[in-house]
Amino acid sequence: MAIRSSEQLVLVDHPLAQHKLALIRDRTTTTRDFRWLMGELAAFLCYEATRDLEMEQIDVETPLETARAAQISGKKLGVVAVLRAGLGMLDAVLDLVPVARVGFVGVYRDEATLAPVEYYCKLPGDLEERDVLVLDPMLATGGSASAALRLIKEQGSRSIRLLSVVAAPAGLDRIAADHPDVTVYTAAVDRGLNEDGFILPGLGDAGDRLFGTR
């Protein structure tokens, strides 16, 4: 794997995130707990990915007096969930940024070729005016995320961050090559991929574990 600058990769190694990552990897974790943990991990990634949002000073009337306070200024936020598994991160991210506009990109991976197949795209019309957070818990070959990022850029978006719970080196290399302007926020850079394109050690098929489809 190529050495990356912090502009391309942010590893979220907070103890709470790493603890939850250990739980979500566990094959005995139930669907219900898996969903919950996915939301918690998404919140940690979102927290880091929004750390440098522009702020402005305002006055707020407390019950006692006027306080100087800060509020987010600058560009608004957009969130794009990559179907299906990105849905598992969406609610938790919207809890943190409730005013964000939301889009969806449907991409699945052809099981034989591992190539991404695009089947749905519904994005907010004003995405070019927003900082965009793209949600997909698994970055394996990177084909799905790269395709999603291309679709979002075709809409005019110029400020995009990718939030993936687990990333493989091949996926990070693919994003760095195809989208060098996009920073990846992840809780783990795993060892690699097996012959079926699954991340090792990974956490299994996130979509199936979220929705109980296998």
Which residue's CB atom is positioned nearest to ligand PRP?
207
Among 78, 169, 197, 204, binds ligand PRP (CB under 6 A): 197
Stretch of 8-16, 21-29, 123-131, 134-142 contacting ligand PRP, by CB under 6 A: 134-142
> Pairing mode, if any, of strands 183-189 and 9-11?
parallel
Check the CA dihedral 145-148-152-154 and report its sign: positive
Catalytic residue among 84, 109, 130, 161: 109
Instruction: Fill in the DSSP letter of residue 182.
Output: P
88 scored as a contact of ligand PRP (CB under 6 A): no
Among 4, 97, 207, 209, binds ligand PRP (CB under 6 A): 207
> Rounded to a whole number, what is the largest CA-CA distance in the chain?
65
d(CA 116, CA 5) in angstroms, rounded, equals 27
d(CA 174, CA 8) in angstroms, rounded, equals 12
Tell me if residue 214 is catalytic: no
190 scored as a contact of ligand PRP (CB under 6 A): no
Stretch of 11-19, 57-65, 73-81, 205-213 contacting ligand PRP, by CB under 6 A: 205-213
Q: Please give the residues from 101 up to 130 whose contact with ligand PRP meets the rule CB under 6 A.
A: 108-109, 114, 116
Tell me if residue 208 is catalytic: yes
User: 9 or 85: whose CB is closer to ligand PRP?
Assistant: 85
d(CA 70, CA 47) in angstroms, rounded, equals 17
Considering the complex, what minimum distance in angstroms separates the CB of residue 20 from ligand PRP? 18
Instruction: Fill in the DSSP letter of residue 129.
Output: G
> For residue 58, how many other CB atoms are within 10 A of its CB?
11
d(CA 126, CA 140) in angstroms, rounded, equals 30
Among 10, 21, 138, 151, binds ligand PRP (CB under 6 A): 138
Considering the complex, what minimum distance in angstroms separates the CB of residue 147 from ligand PRP? 8
To the nearest 10°, the Cα dihedral for 143, 172, 11, 70? -60
User: 64 or 112: whose CB is closer to ligand PRP?
Assistant: 112
d(CA 39, CA 93) in angstroms, rounded, equals 8
Q: Please give the residues from 39 up to 58 whose contact with ligand PRP meets the rule CB under 6 A.
A: none
- 8 A C-beta contact, residue 199 and residue 168: yes
Applying CB under 6 A, the residues found at the interface with ligand PRP are: 82-85, 108-109, 114, 116, 136, 138-145, 171, 197, 205-207
Q: Would you name the residues annotated as active-site residues?
A: 109, 113, 205, 208
